[in-house]
Amino acid sequence: MSPLIPKGKRPWTTDPGHIHDAPHPPPMPDEPESTAGSSASPPGPAAESLEPIEVRQAVEEEREPHGDPAPVPDPSEVEVPKELADEIRRAMKRYPRKRSAVMPALWAVQRRYGWCTPKGIRQAAAVMGVTPGYLQAVASYYDLFRLEPEGEHQVLVCTNISCWLRGADVLLESFCEAAGIDGPGSSQDGKLFIRGFECLGACDLAPMASIDERYYGPLTEEDARAAAEQLRSGREVLPDKRLEDRPAAGGPDAKEVKG
């Protein structure tokens, strides 16, 4: 409902079943009376009977003080692992503006540290010549960037419509059970992080999951148990269920192409 007219003073909205018979809205305060009283615009409640409209303005004093943002780190003061710096620099070369490499830079940080640690973000900021706040803002926007420590291996079980119709809820439960947890979250040993996720864009694999950024499906409860064991012991995960090993539609067999 419009906030401009107080509740209880909106006669034309009190009986939605007879909306076409209801009187027109009241005239604006400076509208000529003759117009308001014409047959085209039936009279409404007197303008002076309306309560004053409260207009809130965001004033400087009302804002929360956040302090100054951290400046661009001085590269000479930040020690950055060579592989991380090289990966970020390679990404920066692919874009006309260095800031555009923010996503691959955050991925590089997340892969190295398991999540987007403040230290990793500062290192990436030093390499890119941007503020840590810029990287932090992007990382906090996207669901796939982690801002706190989670299990070493990340399992995202798609629970959207196609996967759900083919048993995604049971699959998610099986992964949680195999990880020894009651619901989505990290396992006690810190090895596994399990959560449900929205459509991952591989509906033809339903029910499917992304495990450490690789797609697998269609998965069964037995696959969930096997995958959890393989992840814990560092073995290859579900080699027969990897999307990248499936033949492309109408194309050659992916395994043949790889040799």
Interface positions with ligand FES (CB under 6 A): 158, 160-163, 199-203, 206, 208
At closest approach, how far in Å is the CB of 152 from ligand FES?
24
Q: Using CA atoms, how far apart are residues 135 and 74, in angstroms rounded to an integer?
A: 16
At closest approach, how far in Å is the CB of 116 from ligand FES?
25
Exposure string of 169-183, with b = 16+ CB inside 10 Å and e = fewer, is eebbbbbbebbebee
Q: Is the dihedral of CA 240, 245, 250, 256 positive or negative?
A: negative
The vertex-91 CA angle with 87 and 92, nearest 5°, equals 115
At closest approach, how far in Å is the CB of 182 from ligand FES?
23
As a whole number of Å, the CA-based R_g of the chain is 29
Dig out the tokens for 228 from the structure. 């959890």
At closest approach, how far in Å is the CB of 165 from ligand FES?
8
Nearer to ligand FES, 79 or 198 (CB): 198
Nearer to ligand FES, 203 or 226 (CB): 203
Q: Using CA atoms, how far apart are residues 13 and 17, in angstroms rounded to an integer?
A: 9
User: 246-251, long-range: CB within 8 Å, 24+ apart, which pairs?
Assistant: none
At closest approach, how far in Å is the CB of 258 from ligand FES?
24
Dig out the tokens for 257 from the structure. 């192409």
At closest approach, how far in Å is the CB of 156 from ligand FES?
10
In one-letter notation, the amino acid at residue 200 is L
Nearer to ligand FES, 19 or 161 (CB): 161
Nearer to ligand FES, 114 or 217 (CB): 217
Q: State which H helix or E strand residue 170 sits in.
A: helix 168-179
Nearer to ligand FES, 135 or 194 (CB): 194
Nearer to ligand FES, 186 or 210 (CB): 210
